[in-house]
Amino acid sequence: MTEQELVELCSLGENTTVQFKLEFTTPKQIAEELVAFANTHGGTIVFGAEDKTGRMVGLTYEQLQYTSRELGNTANDHVRPTIYIETETLKHDGQAYLVAYVKSGDYKPYKDLSGNIWVKQGADKRRVTENAEIRRLFQKSHQYQADEEGVDGSSEADIDTKALDEYFNKVFGKRVDEFNIPVPTILKNAHITDELGRLTIAGLMYFAKEPQMFRPQHCIKAVWFVGNHIGGTQYRDSRDITGTIPEMYEDAMRWLKSCLSRPQNGQSFNSEGDLEISEVVLQELVQNALVHLDLLKPAAIRLLVFDNRVEIVNPGCLPDGQTIDEILLGNSDPRNPQLAQFGSKTMPYRGLGSGIPRVMAENCDVELIDRPDGNQFIARIWRTTQKDETTTQKANEELISATQKDESTTQKSEITTQKPLTTTQKEILKYLQEHPTATRQEVAEAIDGITEDGVKYNIGRLQQYRVLKRIGGRKNGHWEVIGDEYKQIDKG
């Protein structure tokens, strides 16, 4: 951190990741702050700045040495498990400041010596007492797998033997009763039942006769709206999709296909037409929602069809520390490894982190939105037939054919054919060309129907396409559109 960055940090006040301390108070109080940061997103503590206001006062040499020593002792002796912090000393106007950096921990939940678990809530902290929230902290550190938890009241008698035999035949080449091992032992070893003979959540959601009898929230709420507003009171169809995960997947796909159109796209009269949204995109996003939902959040998956878009709302944001950029690259960190394992054997689901890259390879207009504040992950697919999209593969081929007759227009056709940019990406390029210093928030406010997360994702895609690059740093830099053909994108 530079001196100027320190001054700017103090001028902006405290928040979820920034805390000010005029001086080191007590090990107990500082341990609570360290625990809260380690259990949440990590953060920075500035010693020498006034609490709440951030007014810069500074530390004497003696205060600096004392704070540095006691801070290390507190992190080592007053936090369980031990956390590791980094510190640096900075000067401003002749005064010294100690800046401590706390990372989001890998072994949550962290506790103080009294056994209290603290998390950040805005600029303050709060103590965690609810069992569900404590389990979620364990889940974030992979010390607890919700999908292997036993379901009260369930037993081997609730298993659909046909579904079970199909699974074992596919995976092992024989039925479950053809092994020379007692069936209860096989079911427990396969994580279909737990030590008490109850179905695990994974076993329930893949092999039970009536999964929703035990977990009614594990279903899909599907609504086909009239118009484009989620608050609309008119809808064309509304239903609850239930059953095992493979059954819900099949029913959800059938329902989505019934809601979407199949434009002819130049095909013969007797042709069924192409589904307006790639079936691969729908398959991968529906499967991801079913497999990667947060089992600790009692909410249904939502399939929402509007006139201009489809939204798949998953109860559960990305697992702790994972980002949209990482899943775009195929990095996989499954929240529910047993659901993923069963899914890879019973559905087209591959479980290798390849789903989202496959979605993006289809060149549909897709936004991925992670909302940790509401614990949701949203996949939004714009309906090309409703957005007047002109860059479909068919249109590209027709444009190439036409421009081959006139070399003077070949350069213009490459605007469309070199990179199949979506309408949203074109609008972002145009805006950044006219406002090169704009922030993601400013872009989102200027373009209808896109969030700040959506802007971030699409800018990343444009950079991958090598049609947009960042010149300079985040604070003083600007955006540059690369290539004359893309500088004219708004005219294409």
The two three-digit tokens of residue 144, written as one number: 């607890």
User: What percentage of the chain reaches a pLDDT higher than 90?
Assistant: 47
pTM for the full predicted model: 0.63
The two three-digit tokens of residue 459, written as one number: 């800018």
Lowest mean pLDDT among 187-201, 295-309, 387-401: 387-401
**Into which CATH architecture does domain 3-140 fall?**
2-Layer Sandwich (3.30)
**Mean pLDDT (whole number) for 371-391:** 70
Instruction: State the chain's mean pLDDT as an integer.
Output: 83
Which fold does the domain 421-491 belong to in CATH?
Arc Repressor Mutant, subunit A (1.10.10)
Pairwise pLDDT comparison (462 vs 127), residue with the higher score: 127
Q: Is pLDDT at 116 greater than 50 in this prediction?
A: yes
For residue range 128-160, list pLDDT tens digits in order.
888 878 887 887 777 778 888 899 999 999 999
pLDDT at residue 392, as a whole number:
35
Q: Is pLDDT at 97 greater than 80 in this prediction?
A: yes
d(CA 68, CA 88): 9
Pinpoint the residues of the chain covered by CATH 1.10.10.10.
421-491
Q: Is pLDDT at 491 greater than 50 in this prediction?
A: no
Pinpoint the residues of the chain covered by CATH 3.30.565.60.
220-339+346-382
- pLDDT-derived band of residue 450, with 50, 70 and 90 as boundaries? confident
pLDDT at residue 329, as a whole number:
77
Q: Is pLDDT at 168 greater than 80 in this prediction?
A: yes
Q: Say if CB 412 and CB 403 are below 8 A apart.
A: yes
Residue 395 CB neighbour total at 10 angstroms: 16
**Mean pLDDT (whole number) for 368-377:** 85
Pinpoint the residues of the chain covered by CATH 3.30.950.30.
3-140
Peptide bond into 109 cis (omega under 30): yes
Q: Is pLDDT at 189 greater than 50 in this prediction?
A: yes
Q: Is pLDDT at 404 greater than 50 in this prediction?
A: no
pLDDT at residue 405, as a whole number:
39
- pLDDT-derived band of residue 117, with 50, 70 and 90 as boundaries? very high
Q: Is pLDDT at 41 greater than 50 in this prediction?
A: yes
For residue range 254-300, list pLDDT tens digits in order.
999 999 987 756 555 555 667 888 888 999 999 999 998 888 888 89
- CATH number, domain 220-339+346-382: 3.30.565.60
**Mean pLDDT (whole number) for 193-212:** 94
- pLDDT-derived band of residue 200, with 50, 70 and 90 as boundaries? very high
Handedness of CA 406, 425, 435, 308 (dihedral sign): positive
Q: Is pLDDT at 437 greater than 80 in this prediction?
A: yes
**Mean pLDDT (whole number) for 184-194:** 94
